Amino acid sequence: MSVVESIKSVLVPIHPEGKKFIAIFAIIGIGLWWLWSPLGFVGVILVLWCAYFFRNPDRYTPVREGLLVSPADGLVQLIATVPPPPELDMGTEPRVRISIFMNVFDVHVNRSPTDGTITRKVYTPGAFVNATLDKASEDNERMGIRLQTSTGKTIAFVQIAGLVARRILSFVEEGDSLQAGERFGLIRFGSRVDIYLDDGMVPMVAVGQRAIAGETVIADEQVNEVQRWAEIR
């Protein structure tokens, strides 16, 4: 591997949404340096962290029909059986919900869990309580997407703002077709994504496990097994 290839393997692309924030932090850093040179190091750290936050790496997505991959990087915080968000018009029957929490050091670009067509997209204003709390699914600002999968199933995924997050970005609209692993949105700066499974789908992840957006398989329509549990070892 050449030196250039080695550098490229370490450095990942920055999402365009992050460039203006990097510029802002750079200006702040210059101002801090001008006020007192040791403070300039704080500005450098802020710029580096901002670039790290908005990284936008490529992912290797499993493409077999029936697989659902994680829509977000982060910790599988909760797995519960609850009614889907009423604004998505999916009825009141409880569904399995997998909640993935993203801290400020995780990649915040969100990806489609599977191939399908967006049949509903709804923005709901709300609060900004800690996204690790169960009530965040109902109380917080969120962007919900209902997807008709290529196999005829209906799932939903919801971007939820957190205690620090103040902006949910969506790159898709109703009627758009998505491929598994395709980027559909981004959240700034620390948040959560919920995914609601269709009947018969069983989670293939466990609470406490870390997931990688576009890569970690979280459910498989072709597998019939009991819900998985995990132990710290």
44 shares its domain with 153: no
Q: Catalytic residue among 70, 99, 112, 191, which?
A: 191
Tell me: the pLDDT tens digits for 56-89?
A: 999 999 999 999 999 999 999 999 999 999 999 9
Residue 32 and residue 75 share a domain: no
Q: Is residue 60 part of a domain?
A: no
pTM (2 d.p.): 0.86
What tens digit of pLDDT does each residue of 126-183 get? 766 666 666 667 778 899 999 999 999 999 999 998 766 567 888 999 999 999 999 9
CATH number for the domain harbouring residue 160: 2.70.70
Within this chain, do residues 74 and 46 fall inside the same structural domain, yes or no?
A: no
Domain shared by 77 and 122, yes or no: yes
Residue 231 counted as domain residue: no
Residue 58 falls inside a structural domain? no
pLDDT bin (cut points 50, 70, 90) of residue 7 is very low
Same domain? For 97 and 143 the reply is yes
**Structural domain includes residue 132:** yes
Active site residue 191: yes
Judgement on whether residues 27 and 107 belong to the same structural domain of the protein: no
- Let me know if residue 229 belongs to a domain: no
- For residues 26 and 117, membership in a common domain is answered with no
Rounded Cα gap, residues 174 and 165, in angstroms: 24
124 lies in some domain? yes
In a domain, 99, yes or no: yes
Residue 167 structural domain: 67-220
DSSP states of 61-106: ----TTEEE-SSSEEEEEEEEEPPPGGG---SS-EEEEEEEE-TTS
Let me know whether 137 and 49 are in one domain. Answer: no
Domain assignment present for residue 233? The answer is: no
User: In this structure, what token pair is assigned to residue 152?
Assistant: 């005829």
Same domain flag for 130 and 168: yes
105 and 31 share one domain: no
How many domains is the chain partitioned into structurally? Answer: 2
